[in-house]
Structure 1
């Protein structure tokens, strides 16, 4: 026998037809996968599974991730309430002669409806090669021990080579590589960013100067993998070792950093007005010398606190790390000003961030130009199947 409470919950003749229709509508779904890449996570789609008309992509991505969410939690989707977890990757057949696959990165706002295609994500690119193999977009031999996947990032037009081990024809997950910001270890993924300078602007120094001044603060604008702007923490009268939470709660700091970022974006040619500068580029970071604070271990060459889409990053975006490694070699830049003259590792620049450190290798040609930059990451498939949205 039905309880009275349950009977009261059933639709009655007085229930509005519109409510009944809405409640009974079938959810939409598409094949998808969910991967961790470096210190980020994203929903992955094969491009052929998405609508051919790209104007239909944005509403799908918003609903899948759970944006916009005024509560900032994205509980009705697969986002995690912060910029590093509010991402989508689309992978498909190559349109570049030097690539095996195309990869399009999409950053979504958490509380707003922004769907941003203006930048690359260096952390998530570590999962692109494994996804291509696991999904059959890149054919790997069942007995092969490793794969090299040449990735064309459509956001920037740049090529990245991903090298990683295979097990039984799939990307390996288990391994001994630890990366700061991720619990446990995983299989190493080597990422070689080929000729990464000038990703959006065509120039290593988009403003034509090693230093510019915004709001009375010296800044270096560098375009490597993504356009970035770097300011010294001491020029903002804050310690370079602030935690992400302390950055958020320091009165006026985020507002000031965003003002500098937007002015730099205009000077770099990314937008015509500060108001129209994209949320994801240029990225901004506060840099400092490890010697300026005893809390910073001496095993790093410089310290950064980076922001991504207006939020303090828990670690450091890979594209910011690549730009830092390059700027550290530019005499007179704000980054070179605070970088140790005696590298702790001759293989590259060791950067301290909010969760630990990362080593970035950079190869420069005889003319001083940046030929490639290398980082090691881990990635893992978390699930695959069908993803649903309302």
Structure 2
């Protein structure tokens, strides 16, 4: 195993982490996981021996390589790396880190840039789904500067349009893996949905919350976290995912009516603490559920038939454009949204 590896550290959406070439990583997943733990510094709350940021949102890794799929230009493998735990979960996708994949592919010569915009077709290896990314490349050079400001990121940057194709059944193969729009777990109505990522949607009021609490307040409520985890594990079983106690999916989401001009209000868990903003893939699951009658989300929003859904979250608002197939029930053909990315550092990581 190599004792060093090249990387570019980037902010992707509201996350941050190293972007690595798949060709420089072990093909064996166990060996790869061990290397990623060393890179990030897993096993220490500050990740002192690595480049992780001591938080789940900054302990993520994007791995990119040339794709063999004719429908894609590059492959993207995402890993959620444990902070205190020596763990690596390859099961989820991350739509925020996804925002940096196209810029990384252009920076490293995996994709040739056009002008003024370059389309990069990305196959996510975690879900085997295709995402199209449109990035600004004036004069054939990637540009990070712009005036697009996304909630949860501190500075404006060039917009990156992400279009998720065929979002239904990303992990389980079915939009509603249980076969029902609504299920009951622990006497609580939930919607178990798999759109971009598996989620279990819960009305906040059914757990004795408003849904407007801050992430810090929710993280301090150990009784609530235990209830949510119990529901999440049962949902995993109902969704055919087996024992999910060591996986980060399905993701639990608390929902409430909008109160800042959006369509619905959300608190997204990752899964044992509350996200300080909102995951891209999770937002797709929420938006999809908003348009389906009978889901726990549809009863909280007046915009169930809208072509755009605005989701309020702790850091602001996230707006998604929904493309439906009107000839088929519960058929979403694509979901688009705007993210940004910023290159922070390019260099070599030395492994312990």
**Pairwise TM-score range, normalised by the shorter structure:** over 0.9
CA distance in 1, matches of 2:108, 2:205: 47
Unmatched tracts of structure 1, length 5 or more: 1-26, 291-295
CA distance in 2, matches of 1:184, 1:52: 36
Q: Which residue of 1 aligns with 2:49?
A: 76
What do the CA deviations read for 1:242-288 (whole angstroms, capped 9, x no partner)? Answer: 101000112401111111111101100111x3xx4443210110000
Q: Which residue of 2 aligns with 1:113?
A: 86
Query: What aligned pairs does 1:91-106 form with structure 2 within 5 A after superposition?
Result: 91-106=64-79
Q: Is the contact made by 2:52 and 2:59 (CA closer than 8 Å) also made in structure 1?
A: yes
Cα distance, 1:159–1:378 mapped onto 2, change above 3 Å: same
> How much has 1:168 moved relative to structure 2?
4.5
Q: Is the contact made by 2:255 and 2:267 (CA closer than 8 Å) also made in structure 1?
A: yes
TM-score, normalising length from structure 1? 0.87
TM-score, normalising length from structure 2? 0.96
Give 3-state SS (helix, strand or coil) of 2:137's partner.
Answer: strand
Query: What aligned pairs does 1:126-205 form with structure 2 within 5 A after superposition?
Result: 126-141=99-114, 144-205=115-176
Query: What aligned pairs does 1:331-342 form with structure 2 within 5 A after superposition?
Result: 331-341=293-303
Q: Is the contact made by 2:252 and 2:271 (CA closer than 8 Å) also made in structure 1?
A: no
Q: Which residue of 2 aligns with 1:67?
A: 42
Q: Is the contact made by 2:298 and 2:304 (CA closer than 8 Å) also made in structure 1?
A: no
What do the CA deviations read for 1:32-53 (whole angstroms, capped 9, x no partner)? Answer: 1111100001211111112344
> How much has 1:170 moved relative to structure 2?
3.0
CA distance in 1, matches of 2:27, 2:172: 29
> How much has 1:180 moved relative to structure 2?
0.6
> How much has 1:310 moved relative to structure 2?
1.4
Q: Which residue of 2 aligns with 1:315?
A: 277
- Aligned with residue 383 of structure 1, among 334, 345, 349: 345
Query: What aligned pairs does 1:200-211 form with structure 2 within 5 A after superposition?
Result: 200-211=171-182
Give 3-state SS (helix, strand or coil) of 1:258's partner.
Answer: helix
Higher CA-based Rg: 1
How much is the aligned-residue C-alpha RMSD, in angstroms? 1.5
Q: Which residue of 1 aligns with 2:321?
A: 361
Give 3-state SS (helix, strand or coil) of 2:105's partner.
Answer: helix
CA distance in 1, matches of 2:30, 2:112: 30
Q: Which residue of 2 aligns with 1:349?
A: 309
Q: Which residue of 2 aligns with 1:8?
A: none
Q: Is the contact made by 2:290 and 2:304 (CA closer than 8 Å) also made in structure 1?
A: no
Unmatched tracts of structure 2, length 5 or more: none
What do the CA deviations read for 1:24-74 (whole angstroms, capped 9, x no partner)? Answer: xxx9211111111000012111111123444321111001111021xx222
CA distance in 2, matches of 1:130, 1:170: 10
CA distance in 2, matches of 1:322, 1:138: 27
User: How many residues are matched?
Assistant: 349
What do the CA deviations read for 1:162-187 (whole angstroms, capped 9, x no partner)? Answer: 00101453321110101010111000
CA distance in 1, matches of 2:277, 2:350: 30
What do the CA deviations read for 1:203-261 (whole angstroms, capped 9, x no partner)? Answer: 11110111111111110011001111100000001111010100011240111111111
Give 3-state SS (helix, strand or coil) of 1:55's partner.
Answer: helix
